[in-house]
A and B are shown apart, each in its own frame.
Chain A
């Protein structure tokens, strides 16, 4: 018995443990973490656009400070660092896959940063020459011998700085050569200033395509593609994690149903057992017992009662009490029976039952669902009482007779 109990306790503990385990597995996908991670990826895409925008603004002189560029890059790097914390609910293989994409993205970001550093340096030099050349040439125009040529040169250089027309390079180079020749043939222009103007022109010619190329290269670095790839990969892994969790949820429900069925079976078995016990008790007592429902139908009758009534148990079950029960025991006492129901009182009486020539003491008890009736054979007691009564009477009569005799003799 003790061993059985231990077995039951261990069994139910195991079943509950399995249930908890399955339930935990089924809620393993952390919704908040997922949102944070997805948002970080979205933010990275947004920052990437801002970064590109800032590069273009710097290139076309809409921004005069590189601080926004430095900040945009720092933001992007911070996000990249945050994304290294992959949510733990993604399984090992998925983590590795995401890490690969992250490593590629980091590489792309470093490449972009290097290009941006070059861009800032080159762009500054270009901007410096572009702002200074017009000032310088204006100063030089006080010398009439070169003024027309220098003005033309400035026009061409400024035009070149605005367009990407490569044909202008040849024109500018030709102009530079012409100015150099003229100046060397003994003109009076301030020599160092002309030299400086030419140096700045060369810087513009050299740096402008470089800066343009750098700008193009910065925009071409596949950071956005990388972010999109990260999103796709992460999404797939997240979906897989959700599917796994759903599978475990299904298992949890299945297991829960099995447990419920088990519990229900246990409860019903227990009820059956107690029911059986009651029946056994009722069948083992010597008294006759009959149970009626509120419709006066016999819902239970024990074999002793059937024997008294000289009928079969099965024939009596579910029959109307007034019809199948002998009149002497039943309908003759209808009032008493009905009072049991209406007043919820115990009723008792004795009745003689012809077919078996027995005296029966009938006791009826009210119940929630009808009446319980006990029948006890009191024939012997009745006969003994009758005999006693008879003896008493005889004695009485004899005493009376003797008394009369004595009186008459006096």
Chain B
């Protein structure tokens, strides 16, 4: 009798005891895990650099398929309302990412309000547009897409058009779970734009330690660039593109130029703060010798003119022509590798 009792009870009791033990242990284990972890110290604090300018990284890791899709979209006129204008219309990769016009032409031959900045290296800019109204590349894309005088389109219209193409349907399906959408189109274009960096400029080689990468004149030009205070705004990896500055610290640039337009108010149009009137993002000087005309109004056709305006209105001084010529020589050393990228497009 007792034996039978034991026979029945033994397996069940064993299972129950194990179950309780496991439960108790798991509780204990959970308690151990709940103890706060010691915070890690993170990367060491960066040291103060010797030079105010940093080289452009030699490599940026990106998804090549998204880059390819983004490149196709960048050249896609269907992004505009009448299928006549693509991103590349104003940011021609064979013209250093600009159209070399004072003001760009949008749909129906309409003229823009400001000069088109180059698309090269724009992923390194701290904000997008001359007035810095977009925080990211993705946000920036909304600007020209919706502007009546640029592409005059809308996302429903664009996605509808792109869905007609089996090629786009396939590519998007492979790369994005959601297929063709506003977000995926923006992501592809932004990824492509991140691939438009121009490394290995002679000046970057100089910064990386090759003392012979610059001629003595170019080095003199760099010395003047620093000594005359250009570098107080044109610094960092892009020689600009990381701060705002008032156009016309000395004298009144706009009074002298005349015909003040809304676009000339710059950052004021974004913030509405009086102190931001005539304030613009400091443009990058990377590849600057290829991206004329200069300034938000495209008023300076040559580097010589641009430097003279800058020295007069930003630095409040006069500089000998010899010094300007040296600075121009220095600026030409900021041209990086664009060939590989633009060749890829023209195929």
Contact A65:B245 (CB < 8 A) given known A53-B45, A74-B126, A135-B227: no
B2: Cβ under 8 A from any A Cβ: yes
B60: Cβ under 8 A from any A Cβ: no
Say whether B232 contacts A128, CB under 8 Å.
yes
Q: Which residues from chain A contact B231 at a C-beta distance below 8 Å?
A: 64
Contact with A along B209-243 (1 / 0, CB 8 A): 00000000000000000011101110111000011
CB under 8 Å from chain A, chain B span 1-47? 1-5, 8-9, 12, 16, 20, 23, 27, 30, 33-34, 36-37, 39-40, 42, 45-46
Specify which of B30, B40, B271 is in contact with A31 (CB 8 Å cutoff): B30
Q: Which residues from chain A contact B315 at a C-beta distance below 8 Å?
A: 128, 132
Binds A, one of B49-57, B63-71, B180-188, B292-300: B49-57
Min C-beta distance of B136 to chain A, whole Å: 10
Say whether B229 contacts A128, CB under 8 Å.
yes
Specify which of B16, B27, B37 is in contact with A263 (CB 8 Å cutoff): B16
Say whether B37 contacts A124, CB under 8 Å.
no
B177: Cβ under 8 A from any A Cβ: no
CA gap between A92 and B2 in the complex, in Å: 57
Contact A63:B48 (CB < 8 A) given known A39-B39, A128-B232: yes
CA gap between A278 and B245 in the complex, in Å: 102
Specify which of A31, A65, A199, A267 is in contact with B34 (CB 8 Å cutoff): A31
Contact with B along A362-380 (1 / 0, CB 8 A): 0000001100000000000
Min C-beta distance of A107 to chain B, whole Å: 15
Return the chain A residue nearest B40 by Cβ: A39
Contact A68:B46 (CB < 8 A) given known A121-B243, A124-B243, A127-B232: yes
Q: Which residues from chain B contact A267 at a C-beta distance below 8 Å?
A: 8-9, 12
Return the chain A residue nearest B37 by Cβ: A35
Select the residue from A34, A117, A274 with max chain B CB neighbours within 10 A. Answer: A117
Say whether B275 contacts A118, CB under 8 Å.
yes
Say whether B3 contacts A200, CB under 8 Å.
no
A interface, size bucket: 35 or more
Specify which of A27, A46, A63, A120 is in contact with B244 (CB 8 Å cutoff): A120
Q: Which residues from chain A contact B51 at a C-beta distance below 8 Å?
A: 64
Contact A67:B237 (CB < 8 A) given known A42-B39, A132-B317, A136-B317: yes
Say whether A132 contacts B229, CB under 8 Å.
yes
CA gap between A253 and B126 in the complex, in Å: 56
Return the chain A residue nearest B36 by Cβ: A38
Return the chain B residue nearest A128 by Cβ: B229
Q: Which residues from chain B contact A128 at a C-beta distance below 8 Å?
A: 229, 232, 314-315
Contact A271:B5 (CB < 8 A) given known A35-B37, A64-B235: yes
Say whether A57 contacts B236, CB under 8 Å.
no
A85: Cβ under 8 A from any B Cβ: no
B279: Cβ under 8 A from any A Cβ: yes
Say whether B3 contacts A67, CB under 8 Å.
no
Say whether B12 contacts A70, CB under 8 Å.
no
B250: Cβ under 8 A from any A Cβ: yes
Contact with A along B109-134 (1 / 0, CB 8 A): 00000000000000000100000000
Query: Which B residues contact A (CB, under 8 angstroms)?
Result: 1-5, 8-9, 12, 16, 20, 23, 27, 30, 33-34, 36-37, 39-40, 42, 45-46, 48-49, 51-54, 126, 227-229, 231-233, 235-237, 242-246, 249-250, 271, 275, 279, 314-318
Q: List 7 A-B contacts (CB under 8 A).
A: A43-B42, A70-B242, A74-B126, A124-B243, A132-B228, A260-B20, A267-B12
